[in-house]
């Protein structure tokens, strides 16, 4: 069953005066599915939701997960199905979403806030490796308090002042699609829109050719320094 175990590591990221050094969490690895299967995981990005269980139809794929979590992919038969999201240990769904989960596809059940509650949607993930010499990455901007942000991938040996943002003015709840970047060592930097000064050095992250990644940006819940966290999910390789 996916969602109960994941590998975490924390890296110090460069940031601005307002968005300080950001912790980075590495998550699950992915294995290739057979041609007759589909893959589904859960990304929990809700501040409002309690600990959650998630089923696809009657198959559990995540148990007792919390915010800023990527589960492992579950390998399932392809079908039209409903994903049910339950408060952990209960049998009454707090929200649900239906969709097509087709052969050789990858999807994420994306749990986010809706008013004072929470809701679920289905993201289509990239199932194929990035082109030769590149990695692919997308960003899910769920830092609701931080507001619009600029996102940088600063190459190792470079500084923020010499870098151009990969994305600018990314509003809360925005989903930025996959983009291909030359493989190498980078620092992810998230700043308030238009801010370029950074008070601290960062730890580079090695992105290998072929890798596909999803980065989830969220407000930190127990500290104002850092005020934002970035969690990395492994989509492919």
User: How does pLDDT run across 105-131, given as a tens digit for each residue?
Assistant: 999 999 999 999 999 999 999 999 999
Q: Could you tell me the residue range of the domain that residue 113 belongs to?
A: 38-125
Contacts of 237 (CB under 8 A, 6+ apart): 29, 30, 129, 208, 210, 211, 212
Is the same domain home to 183 and 201?
yes
Based on the fold, state whether residues 107 and 181 are members of the same structural domain.
Answer: no
The position carrying tokens 């501040």 is 47
pLDDT for the residue 224: 72
**Helix, strand or coil for residue 190?**
strand
Mean pLDDT of 180-187: 97
Local confidence band at 220 (pLDDT 50, 70, 90 cut-offs): confident
Q: Is residue 12 part of a domain?
A: no
Q: How many domains would you assign to the chain?
A: 2
d(CA 153, CA 70): 21
Q: How far apart are CA 131 and CA 4, in angstroms?
A: 31
pLDDT at 8: 30
- Tell whether 1 is covered by a domain: no
**Which CATH number characterizes residue 172's domain?**
2.60.40
pTM: 0.85
State pLDDT tens for residues 120-172.
Answer: 999 999 999 999 999 999 999 999 999 999 999 999 989 888 899 999 999 99
Average pLDDT over residues 35-57: 96
Residue 13 covered by a domain:
no
């Amino acid at each position: 069953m996916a969602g109960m175990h994941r590998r975490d590591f924390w890296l110090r990221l460069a940031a601005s005066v307002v968005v300080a050094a950001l912790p980075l969490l590495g998550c699950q690895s992915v294995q290739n599915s057979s041609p007759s299967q589909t893959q589904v995981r859960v990304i929990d990005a809700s501040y409002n939701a309690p600990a959650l269980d998630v089923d696809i139809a009657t198959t559990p794929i995540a148990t007792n997960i919390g915010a800023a979590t990527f589960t492992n992919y579950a390998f399932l038969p392809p079908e039209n199905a409903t994903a049910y999201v339950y408060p952990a240990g209960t049998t009454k769904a707090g929200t649900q979403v239906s969709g097509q989960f087709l052969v050789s596809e990858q999807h994420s059940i994306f749990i986010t806030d809706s008013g004072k509650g929470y809701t679920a949607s289905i993201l289509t993930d990239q199932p194929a490796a990035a082109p030769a010499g590149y990695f692919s990455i997308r960003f899910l901007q769920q830092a609701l308090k931080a507001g619009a942000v600029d996102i940088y991938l600063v190459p190792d040996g470079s500084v923020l002042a010499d870098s151009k943002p990969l994305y600018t003015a990314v509003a809360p709840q925005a989903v930025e699609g996959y983009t291909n970047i030359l493989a190498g060592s980078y620092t992810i930097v998230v700043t308030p829109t238009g801010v370029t000064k950074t008070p601290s050095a960062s730890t580079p992250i090695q992105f290998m050719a072929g890798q596909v990644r999803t980065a989830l940006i969220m407000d930190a819940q127990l500290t104002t320094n850092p005020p934002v966290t970035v969690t990395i999910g492994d989509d492919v390789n």
